[in-house]
Amino acid sequence: MSDITESPALQALVADGTLDDAVAAAVDTPRAATEGDAMGGERQPIRPSVLKAAQLARDAEAHARDRQHVKGKLTARERLDLLLDTGTFEEIGRFSGGDINAGHAGAAVITGFGEVHGRRVAVYAQDFSVRGGTLGVAEGRKICRLMDQALTLRIPIVALIDSGGARIQEGVAALTQYGRIFRKTCDASGAVPQISLILGPCAGGAVYCPALTDLIVMTRENSNMFVTGPDVIKAATGESISMDDLGGGAVHSTMSGVAHYLGADEADAIDYARTVLAYLPSNADEQPPTYMYMATRADREVARRLASIVPDNDRQPYDVLDVIRCVVDYGEFVQVHELFAPSAVVGFACIDGHPVGIVANQPNVNAGGLDVDSSEKVARFVRLCDAFNLPVVTLVDTPGYKPGAEQEHAGIIRRGAKVIYAYANAQVPLVTIVLRKAYGGAYIVMGSKSIGADLNYAWPAAQIAVLGATGAVNIIHRKDLQKAKDAGADVDAVRAKYAAEYERTTVNANLSMETGQIDAMIDPEQTRDTLIEGLRLLRGKRRARRAGRHHGNQPL
């Protein structure tokens, strides 16, 4: 850290416990406490103001540890140490917003730059030990200045949130700073990656700062987000509810979908943010980082496992994560929204050393059908990948959209359309593989050729149709089945005969290949090699500017 408080002379005073004595001497005799006194008279005097600043910095961190550790929380600087590569943090405006002579160390937020996996990032960490981490004019200016610099440098922005919200004492001036942060967050959206870690309270208008960012990470304990708190709710509605039940990490990771990851503790949450940054480029104009990968004999053994993962019975569930781990490098897959809308799976992985986004239906949950929540989950992730140049690999096994009045009333039309908009507007490489079922509208929206995918493949047992065989037969041969019933024939046998004929002529992937909607049929064990070759072919794909409009009107 490049800071006067970290100079060797001051560190020597801190190490031998004489800093307080030096400060006291400086107050009594301004030129008495000198670096020459501490270092044998070899250097220039340390100014009293510098000694006072160093004492304030030391005492502020000691105060923060006393306040945070008893709650099971880390201090803002301890969090930065976990997030950033060792020794890379460069703080900006350490004492900005403070009053050194009056004994105030600075604002309730720490801002600066550091490195994650050797790449530069901008960070700000709210300090709950200073005025409850509340945001006032000084804090807003520090954050906005950091964001301006991050956009100029084209580097990611990571926010560590632990705040009581707007500083009431500063009134509308504090609220104005939130408005400025909102605007700058929107300016940065899609330009540089933005990650928010909620490591304490985040309430009121403050929740919209992280809500506008790309990813939100929360912790199981101490982490809360809500627009109106329990006290306000009780006063307004009479409902009693705890902070955790209202807006804790578990609630937002499983029910609302606000949080993209639930950390077991602060260290786990911060490690997840570091991991995600390893897959993303520094900005939208760069390609994601690449990593060395050496194929081994184990790859062939893993590939052979694919043939036995998906059951022949199209109604039998399986875990699509087993498929994903067989096609990505080292079986490493970083899920996003793991606990929310589990009928769809999305996340980051590498294929042949190149980061990609994976989207898949999960047959283990509701047969992999799309509903309102999984539709938004998929759409948001595809948009994220498209913003930051990550190819999207889609693994399809879905019977369609989830039926029912509940889904219709929840807006399956409006919210399901978001998947269409995301895929249709994506300009990164899109590769889709139909593993088993792909029926109706869900087949179209899940990265089909007609919606814009570049390469589409199918496994031999793939079933692609408007409806499954049984459902289609019940409609197409309704009169024939009624006649068989009236004649006393075995209706189930007749239905099975028609279903077998429908599967032979319509449901299998042959018709899709004949019409060019599927480029090739592949054996399951060819999947990884096919993806490697397909993504290598598409590596030169670049965005094309859409002319003639300001922007589209995405269903929201």
pLDDT tens digit sequence for 516-545: 889 999 999 999 999 999 999 999 998 887
Q: What are the pLDDT digits (tens) for 396-444?
A: 999 999 989 999 999 999 999 999 999 999 999 999 999 999 988 889 9
Q: Is residue 162 part of a domain?
A: yes
pLDDT at 34: 46
Contact 313, 291 (CB under 8 A): no
Answer yes or no: do 254 and 324 share one domain: no
pLDDT of residue 208 exceeding 60, the answer is yes
Q: Is residue 290 part of a domain?
A: no
Q: What is the set of active-site residues? A: 204-205, 441-442
Q: What are the pLDDT digits (tens) for 38-87?
A: 444 455 455 666 666 666 667 667 777 888 888 889 999 999 999 999 99
Q: Which two tokens stand for residue 455?
A: 């390469």
Overall size of the chain counted in residues: 556
Contact 143, 109 (CB under 8 A): yes
Contact 446, 432 (CB under 8 A): yes
156 versus 167: the higher-pLDDT residue is 156
Answer yes or no: do 112 and 236 share one domain: yes
Q: Which run of H or of E encompasses 476?
A: helix 469-476
Contact 342, 379 (CB under 8 A): no
Answer yes or no: do 119 and 172 share one domain: yes
The pTM of the full predicted model, rounded to 2 decimals, is: 0.89
Cβ partners under 8 Å of residue 208, min gap 6: 178, 182
Cβ partners under 8 Å of residue 200, min gap 6: 73, 126, 128, 133, 161, 162, 163, 222, 223, 224
Answer yes or no: do 302 and 339 share one domain: yes
pLDDT at 93: 87
Q: Is residue 483 part of a domain?
A: yes
Answer yes or no: do 194 and 311 share one domain: no
Range(s) of the domain holding residue 63? 1-26+46-71
Domain count, the chain: 4
| Domain endpoint, select from 253, 279, 305 | 279
Answer yes or no: do 357 and 233 share one domain: no
pLDDT at 296: 85
3-state SS string for 263-321: ECCHHHHHHHHHHHHCCCCCCCCCCCCCCCCCCCHHHHHHHHHHHHHCCCCCCCCCCHH
| Eight-state DSSP code of residue 450 | G
| Domain endpoint, select from 54, 71, 88 | 71
Q: Which run of H or of E encompasses 463?
A: strand 463-465
Q: Is residue 552 part of a domain?
A: no
pLDDT of residue 454 exceeding 60, the answer is yes
- The 10 Å Cβ neighbour count of residue 413 is 12
Answer yes or no: do 426 and 492 share one domain: no
* Least confident segment among 47-56, 302-311, 337-346: 47-56
Q: Is residue 556 part of a domain?
A: no
- The 10 Å Cβ neighbour count of residue 197 is 28
What CATH number is attached to the domain comprising 218? Answer: 3.90.226.10
Query: Of 314, 307, 445, 328, whose CA–CA distance to 391 is shortest?
Result: 328
Q: Is residue 482 part of a domain?
A: yes
Cβ partners under 8 Å of residue 152, min gap 6: none
